[in-house]
Amino acid sequence: MQLGKVKFGTKLSILLGFLGQALLTGLVAGYITYFGTDIVGVSALAMGNILLVSRIFDGVTDIMMGAVIDKTKSPQGKARPWIIRSVVPFILFTILLFSTPGTLPNGGKIAWIFIFYNLYALGYTALGCAMSTLNVRLSRDEKEINGISTMIMFGTILGNVLINALAVGLLTALSNGSETYTRGAFMKLTIILSAVTLVGTLLSYFTTKELPDMETVQKKENTKESILSLLKNKYWVIQLLNTVMIYLGLNARLAAMIYYGLYVLNNPGLIPILVIADNVPSLLCMPIALAVSNKIGKRKAALGGLCLTMVGFALMFLNIHNLPLFVAGLVIKGIFFAPVQGANNAFIADSALYGEWKTGVKAEGMAYSAISFANKCSSGLAGVLVGWVLAATGYVAGAATQTASAVNGIIFLYIGVTFLCTIGQIILFALYDLDKKMPEVRKALSERDTAD
């Protein structure tokens, strides 16, 4: 079987697919708590609890979706059929989530948000798992997988940058020039972003072609066997935790950003500066990080980069109210975070291939359900943290100013959570040693496929 050379145009279409997806997930991650508290009028504690309860349901659906993808047999492959089936429900439920009627009683508002947040999450489960599984379904070549992974993360981060840099201006424009955003503005913005998401997803679907499966070299796996094989795969578990750390830090910053702009910077117009400083350096450095990873190995590049982000964190913690130095800290963090962020999907691919080599169980969909699960789990955890911390520190929705306790809570949410997650990632990568085993794994799998 050919290892699979993936055309640049195909990689670009995948980037656009993830960019579109990130526009909607970024809007939900960054603004659903604010939408619930300040637009619809639900308490911060209630919003946090909604997101917490929803994560339990999400965890089950992710595992189920991974199993469904692994069992799918179609001329279009395993992942691609679910991309085309899930994109419209994903878009529709996101629009309905941001269409919560303001005339409903408080209990009705909570019920509406709970129902459509979970339906949104279900649509995202199907689409996210399918899109992520493409990474290892298009090629077995390590450099190709690394390149696709970089495109995936580039599109994801770029989508988050765009939505968070432009959301304030767009919401203001859609609210007739007022900084008091309206429910209608959120709904209109969601519809606009949905159109972009649909185009990007369709491009990903129509320009990709999955490698054929060599079914005879696989065990006849079932869901239980697939789950057990993954739980016994320490490298998959490490990358599951790494993915949680990446997205927990990211989603905490996104969810806290509007509050940070309003009550720490006292100027929401500065939010785009934070978004650009936090994300653009990482985007620009991803091609360099890819080259470094291919040269010295993904693990060394990731671990070295994570350690060097501490310089950026030190600048931020020491200069909370000194915007130029705080921004410089964000830039440094972003530059050195590029190797671990850009290679995230490639690390998952390695762990999936290792598991196939070690156990004979081909569980790509289940392995990649970790991406969707970890992203949504961390989004939910971030929402819970934001709701609970705001409630615990005395945040008052819509107030012109906040207490010092509430401001400190916002600062913790914006940079403190990410700092703790980065420490956790350093520990994880200190324990990760799969890079040196992958040449043997890839050679054995290639020989197995060729023999078949």
Can you tell me which residue has the tokens 């921004």? 327
- C-alpha 112/C-alpha 374 separation (Å) is 24
At 451 the pLDDT is 57
* Eight-state DSSP code of residue 102: T
> Which class for 2: exposed (0-12), middle (13-18), buried (19 or more C-beta within 10 A)?
exposed
Do 210 and 10 touch, CB atoms closer than 8 A?
A: no
- C-alpha 66/C-alpha 370 separation (Å) is 9
> Which class for 176: exposed (0-12), middle (13-18), buried (19 or more C-beta within 10 A)?
exposed
Summarised one tens digit per residue, pLDDT across range 253-270 is: 877 888 888 899 888 888
User: Does residue 327 surpass a pLDDT of 60?
Assistant: yes
User: Does residue 1 surpass a pLDDT of 50?
Assistant: no
At 280 the pLDDT is 87
Question: In 107-135, which positions are buried (b, 16+ CB within 10 angstroms) versus exposed (e)?
Answer: eebbebbbebbbbbbbbbbbbbbbbbbbb
CATH topology of domain 8-208+223-451: Growth Hormone; Chain: A; (1.20.1250)
Crossing angle of the two packed helices 234-263 and 364-392, in degrees rounded to 10: 30
Summarised one tens digit per residue, pLDDT across range 281-310 is: 988 898 899 899 888 999 999 999 999 999
CA angle 185, 187, 191 (to 5 degrees): 115
* Eight-state DSSP code of residue 403: -
- C-alpha 421/C-alpha 417 separation (Å) is 6
DSSP secondary structure string for all residues of 246-287:
HHHHHHHHHHHHHHHHHHTSS-GGGHHHHHHHHHHHHHHHHH
Compute the mean pLDDT over every residue in the chain, rounded to the nearest whole number: 85
Residue 2: pLDDT band with limits 50, 70, 90: very low
Rounded to two decimals, the pTM is 0.69
Do 70 and 225 touch, CB atoms closer than 8 A?
A: no
Residue 43: pLDDT band with limits 50, 70, 90: confident
Do 179 and 268 touch, CB atoms closer than 8 A?
A: yes
Summarised one tens digit per residue, pLDDT across range 157-171 is: 889 888 877 888 899
Can you tell me which residue has the tokens 């500065």? 270
**Comparing 402 with 424, which gets the higher pLDDT?**
424
At 292 the pLDDT is 92
